[in-house]
Amino acid sequence: MERWDMLELTFDGKTDGNPFTDYEIYGTFTNENETKTVEGFYNGNGRYIVRFMPSFEGEYHYRIYGSFSDKEFEEDFTVTAPSENNHGPVRVSNTYHFSYADGTPYYLVGTTCYVWHIQSEQLKEQTLKSLEKAGFNKIRFCVFPKHYDYNFGEPPCYPFEGTPVDSSTITSENFSQFNGDPEGNNWDFSRFNPEYFRNIERCITELQKLGIEADIIIFHPYDRWGFSMMDMESDMRYLKYLTARLSAYRNVWWSLANEYDLLSAKTAEHWETFGNYLMNNDPYDHLRSIHNCVNFYDHTRPWITHCSIQRHEIFMTNEYREKYNKPIVLDEIAYEGNIQYGWGNITGEEMLRRFWEGALRGGYPGHGETYLGYDNVLWWSHGGELHGESHKRVKFLHEIMLQTPCNGLKLGNRDWDCVCGFPQDDDVAERTGYCIFYFSIMQPLFRDFYLDDDNEYIVEVIDTWEMTITEIGIFKGKFRVPLAGKQYMAVRVRKTDKQNGQVLQ
Amino acid sequence: MERWDMLELTFDGKTDGNPFTDYEIYGTFTNENETKTVEGFYNGNGRYIVRFMPSFEGEYHYRIYGSFSDKEFEEDFTVTAPSENNHGPVRVSNTYHFSYADGTPYYLVGTTCYVWHIQSEQLKEQTLKSLEKAGFNKIRFCVFPKHYDYNFGEPPCYPFEGTPVDSSTITSENFSQFNGDPEGNNWDFSRFNPEYFRNIERCITELQKLGIEADIIIFHPYDRWGFSMMDMESDMRYLKYLTARLSAYRNVWWSLANEYDLLSAKTAEHWETFGNYLMNNDPYDHLRSIHNCVNFYDHTRPWITHCSIQRHEIFMTNEYREKYNKPIVLDEIAYEGNIQYGWGNITGEEMLRRFWEGALRGGYPGHGETYLGYDNVLWWSHGGELHGESHKRVKFLHEIMLQTPCNGLKLGNRDWDCVCGFPQDDDVAERTGYCIFYFSIMQPLFRDFYLDDDNEYIVEVIDTWEMTITEIGIFKGKFRVPLAGKQYMAVRVRKTDKQNGQVLQ
* Tens-digit pLDDT profile for residues B183-230: 999 999 999 999 999 999 999 999 999 999 999 999 999 999 999 999
List the single residue in B173, B346, B446 with the smallest CB-CB distance to A340. Answer: B446
Alpha-carbon distance A401 to A107, whole Å?
7
Least CA distance to B419: which residue of chain A? A342
pLDDT at B498 over 90: no
Which whole number is the average pLDDT over B444-465?
97
DSSP symbols for A325-351? -S-EEE--S--EE-SSSTTS-B-HHHH
Which whole number is the average pLDDT over A313-332?
97
pLDDT at B34 over 90: yes
Chain B: give the shortest CA distance to residue A346, in Å: 5
Chain B residues contacting A via beta carbons under 8 Å:
173, 338-343, 345-347, 350, 372-373, 415-418, 439, 441-448, 478, 485, 487
Which whole number is the average pLDDT over A340-364?
98
Query: Which of B212, B225, B45 is CA-nearest to residue B118?
Result: B225
3-state secondary structure A51-95: EECCCCCEEEEEEEECCCCCCCEEEEEEEECCCCCCCCCEEEECC
Which whole number is the average pLDDT over A423-429?
97
Q: Say if the Cβ atoms of A339 and B442 lie within 8 Å.
A: no
pLDDT at B499 over 90: no
Alpha-carbon distance A455 to B9, whole Å?
68
List the single residue in B339, B340, B342 with the smallest CB-CB distance to A416. Answer: B342
Q: Which letter, b or e, does each residue of B153-171 get, where b requires 16 or more Cβ atoms within 10 Å of its Cβ?
A: bebeebbbeeebbebeebe
Query: Which of B330, B334, B389, B360 is CA-nearest to residue B138?
Result: B330
- The rounded percent of chain A whose pLDDT value lies above 90 is 98
Least CA distance to A444: which residue of chain B? B338
pLDDT at A162 over 90: yes
| Interface with chain B: mutation pick from A313, A443, A448, A487, highest number of B CBs within 10 Å | A443
Q: pLDDT tens across A209-264, in order? A: 999 999 999 999 999 999 999 999 999 999 999 999 999 999 999 999 999 999 99
Task: Report the run of H or E that residue B410 belongs to, with start and end.
Answer: strand B409-411
pLDDT at A499 over 90: no
Residue B12: how many other CB atoms lie within 10 Å: 12
Task: Read off the pLDDT band of B376 (50, 70, 90).
Answer: very high
Which whole number is the average pLDDT over A449-472?
97
Task: Report the run of H or E that residue A32 belongs to, with start and end.
Answer: none
List the single residue in B417, B441, B443 with the smallest CB-CB distance to A338. Answer: B443
pLDDT at B248: 98
Alpha-carbon distance A277 to A271, whole Å?
10
How many Å separate Cα A375 from the centre of its chain?
A: 27
pLDDT at B500 over 90: no
Task: Read off the pLDDT band of B505 (50, 70, 90).
Answer: confident
DSSP symbols for A377-426? --HHHH-----SSGGGGHHHHHHHHHT-SSS-EEE-SS-TTSEEEEESSH
List the single residue in B338, B346, B416 with the smallest CB-CB distance to A342. Answer: B416
**What does the mean pLDDT of chain A come to?**
97
Q: Say if the Cβ atoms of B444 and A485 lie within 8 Å.
A: no
In A, which residues are within 8 Å of B332 by CB distance?
none
Q: Say if the Cβ atoms of B443 and A343 lie within 8 Å.
A: no
List the single residue in B340, B416, B445 with the smallest CB-CB distance to A444. Answer: B340
pLDDT at A247: 98
Which whole number is the average pLDDT over A86-115?
98
CA distances from residue A188 to A162, A183, A196 in whole angstroms, order as listed: 6, 15, 14
Give the strand order in the sheet containing A26-30.
Answer: A35-39, A26-30, A58-65, A73-79
| Interface with chain A: mutation pick from B347, B442, B450, B479, highest number of A CBs within 10 Å | B442
Which whole number is the average pLDDT over A301-313?
97
Least CA distance to B343: which residue of chain A? A417
Chain A: give the shortest CA distance to residue B396, in Å: 24
Query: Which of A65, A216, A207, A59 is CA-nearest to residue A131?
Result: A207
Task: Read off the pLDDT band of B479 (50, 70, 90).
Answer: very high
Alpha-carbon distance B393 to B350, whole Å?
12
Q: Say if the Cβ atoms of A340 and B447 lie within 8 Å.
A: yes
Task: Read off the pLDDT band of A505 (50, 70, 90).
Answer: confident
Chain A: give the shortest CA distance to residue B368, in Å: 15
pLDDT at A498 over 90: no
The answer for residues whose C-beta is within 8 angstroms of residue A70's C-beta and 6 or more apart is none
Alpha-carbon distance B181 to B170, whole Å?
14
Least CA distance to A441: which residue of chain B? B346
The one-letter amino acid code at B430 reads E
Task: Read off the pLDDT band of A471 (50, 70, 90).
Answer: very high
Residues present in chain A in total: 505
Which whole number is the average pLDDT over A469-480?
97
